[in-house]
Amino acid sequence: MRTDVVYAKTEEGLDLAVIDVTNPAFRVTATDAELAAMGEQYILEAGKQQEVPAALREALRNSMLGRGLMAATGTFLDGMSTYLLKLGPENLGLEASPIDHKIAASFPAFTARLRLQDMARLLAEGLVRTAAAETQRPVCLVNIGGGTGSDSWNALIRVQGEEGELLAGRDIGITVMDLDARGPGFGGRAIEALCAAGGPLGGLKVRFRHFSYAWSDAGRLRKLLRDLEAGDAACGISSEGGLFEYGSDQEIVSNLRALDAETPRDAVVVGSVTRDGGPVRASLVASRVLTRPRRIEGFRSLCEQGGWKVEEAIERPFSYNVRLVKRES
C-alpha cells in the first residue's frame, strides 16, 4: 500500500484506497485530441464485440468490477462499483483479478476518473464563492444519487488545499441521498479516514449522513433540505452519474425546482449529463445501462424550467460535466 494514500474499509472488511484527485496516485490527464482518438478506438472495438463466452461470463461474475457491471445490465451501476471504476488499475488492491485491472484500465473507466476530477473542480470553485461570502457560514453539501459521495469529499480536499483557512472552524456536512446504503457506508468511513490527523481533511470536522431517496419524490427532497437548514448554508449540490444521467425530464425539473426553493441564492449544482454521441451509443449497446443521452441544448432548457442556468459545461466523450447557478443570481 502507498503510504501517502488514505484507506477505509468496505462493507466486506477490505481496505480500499480513498480517492484524492489532488494526489498523483489517482489523477489522470488527457488532451482533447487524445480523448478523441481513444473515443474512436473505443467505438471501433465496441462494434466488433460478439457474444461473451460462457467462461468469460463466469470470470466476470467472480471479479470485483465484473459483478457490478453485469448486475447493471438493463438498469444502473451501483455506487460501490462506480467507485471501483474510478480507482484506476494501480489502486484496486491485492484482491483484484487480471480482469478487474483490464476493466479499470478501459476507456469508460478512464473517463469516469476524469468526470470525478471535473466534478471536484466545479463544486470546489462554487463552494469557494459561497463560503467566502460569510466566514462562519455552515457548509452543506448534498449529493443526489451520490453512492460513496466521492465528488463531495474531493471538492472539500481541493478547497482545503487551495484556500487555506477558508473551511477552518465551520460546521461542514455531507449528505448522500441514495437508495443503496452500501456506497454511503463506505463514504462515511472514508470521511473518518480523511479527517484523521495527517489526512487531507485533517483538522476539519465533517459530518457524513445518508438518507434513502428516490428522485421521483421531489417533495421528500424539499423536506430533507429544510431539515438540513440548507437555506442558511454555503450550499453545494452534486449528482455525478446520477439524476441528470438516469432521470426523466420531469424528474430533473422537479428536483431542480425543489433545490431552487430550499437553497440560498448563491447555491450551486454540479452534475454529469449523458452526452448524445458515438461513444455513448457504443457503450449503450455494449453495457445496456439505462442512461438517457441528451444534447446540451435540451438540458439547458430543462435547467431553465427548474429555475437554474448552466454556468459552465465541460464536454467529455460520454458526458457534459456542468455547474448550474440560479437564474436569478
Residues 10-48: tens digit of each pLDDT: 988 889 999 999 999 999 999 999 999 998 888 887 766
Does residue 17 share a domain with residue 68?
Answer: yes
Does residue 41 share a domain with residue 122?
Answer: no
260-310 pLDDT, tens digit each: 999 999 999 999 999 987 777 776 665 566 788 999 999 999 999 999 999
H helix or E strand, kind and range, residue 61: helix 54-61
What percent of the chain clears pLDDT 90, i.e. is strictly above it? 69
Task: Work out how many domains the chain is built from and give that number.
Answer: 2
Does residue 58 share a domain with residue 149?
Answer: no
Pairing of β 234-239 and β 139-144:
parallel
Query: For residue 321, what are the contacts with CB-CB under 8 A and spacing of at least 6?
Result: 115, 118, 119, 122, 270, 271, 272, 273, 313, 314
Tell me whether residue 283 is in a domain. no
Sign of the torsion angle spanned by Cα atoms 250, 251, 256, 261: positive
Is the distance from CB of 156 to CB of 204 less than 8 angstroms?
yes
Q: What are the beta bridge partners of residue 217?
A: none
Q: Please report the pLDDT score of residue 306 as a whole number.
A: 97
Does residue 119 share a domain with residue 79?
Answer: no
Q: What is the domain extent for residue 28?
A: 7-111
Does residue 298 share a domain with residue 176?
Answer: yes
Band (72; pLDDT cuts 50, 70, 90): low
Q: Please report the pLDDT score of residue 79 as a whole number.
A: 82
Tell me whether residue 307 is in a domain. yes
